[in-house]
Amino acid sequence: MIRVLNDYEHLSQAAADMFMDISRRAIDSHGHFNVVLSGGYTPQRLYEILANSPYREGIHWEDVNIFWSDERCVPPDDPCSNFGNARETLLSYVPISEDHLHPIHGELPADQAAAEYETDLRDFFKNQPPVFDLILLGLGDNAHTASLFPHTPVLDERSRWVEAVQMDKKSLDRVTLTAPIINQAQEVIFLVSGAEKAAALQNVLEGIYHPHQYPAQLIRPNGAHPTWLVDKAAAHKLAEETIELA
């Protein structure tokens, strides 16, 4: 499903409504809501909305377990930390206990952080492949998602749940969930905002299938299309038949 919203604010509001609805259904179904948060700029407004009424009171935060799709190898108080940003915009304002948070320890070397995060997931899911209720993802202007970057070895990973991503000297190393683990989620929602993402979005949704060039094409939860929440600026290159107007 592709929904085109007027702007970034409407996109964030729609994502908050879906977040609360999916959380309620998951908790009603099996008593907890296991959600994977995305990093970057785009979800920040969503997190701010969730931290306020009616979402702060309307979501059963005591039954929520929070994970991350990826992380930069920086300490949690670094401005580039996905965990740190979520803590500042959301986690500090909702009644969720620390033992329900499962951050990637970006202060460690990438290989060690990846190994420890996979151990955490295996312990939590009792060594069964994790099935998250919801994974939030973004889209880079080079069509990457999580830390699945074009032409990197992690795109071919089939057995590991978590992988270290060694970047060039100008960029921070990363840790990421692998595509097969993301694809086991019950729901995946992409949040895409801004005209600078338009070409990438068009390539992912309308281009030839070339996931080494456009890694977001790898994401097919349970073989189905993910949900795309995009604003008009990001969607302006898409053909009308591609989109479902909200």
In the predicted structure, residue 171 carries a pLDDT above the cut 60: yes
Contact, 98 vs 211, CB < 8 A? no
What does pLDDT average to over the chain?
A: 95
More confident residue, 97 or 241: 97
Contact, 215 vs 149, CB < 8 A? yes
pLDDT in tens, 34-66: 999 999 999 999 999 999 999 999 999 999 999
pLDDT in tens, 217-237: 999 998 889 999 999 999 999
Cα–Cα distance measured from residue 135 to residue 154, given in angstroms and rounded to the nearest whole number: 19
Count of C-beta atoms within a 10 Å radius of residue 206: 12
Cα–Cα distance measured from residue 124 to residue 213, given in angstroms and rounded to the nearest whole number: 33
In the predicted structure, residue 170 carries a pLDDT above the cut 80: no
What's the pLDDT band for 169 if we cut at 50, 70, 90?
low
pTM of the model: 0.96
pLDDT in tens, 4-27: 999 999 999 999 999 999 999 999
In the predicted structure, residue 95 carries a pLDDT above the cut 50: yes
Cα–Cα distance measured from residue 182 to residue 222, given in angstroms and rounded to the nearest whole number: 9
In the predicted structure, residue 244 carries a pLDDT above the cut 70: no
Say what the pLDDT of residue 167 is: 76
Q: Which domains does the chain have, with CATH numbers?
A: 2-245 (3.40.50.1360)
Instruction: Give how far the C-alpha of residue 202 lies from the chain's centroid of Cα atoms, to the nearest Å.
Output: 19
- Lateral strand order in the sheet of 174-177: 70-72, 174-177, 162-165
Say what the pLDDT of residue 245 is: 46
- Distance (Å) of CA 219 to CA 56, 106, 108, 222: 30, 24, 28, 9
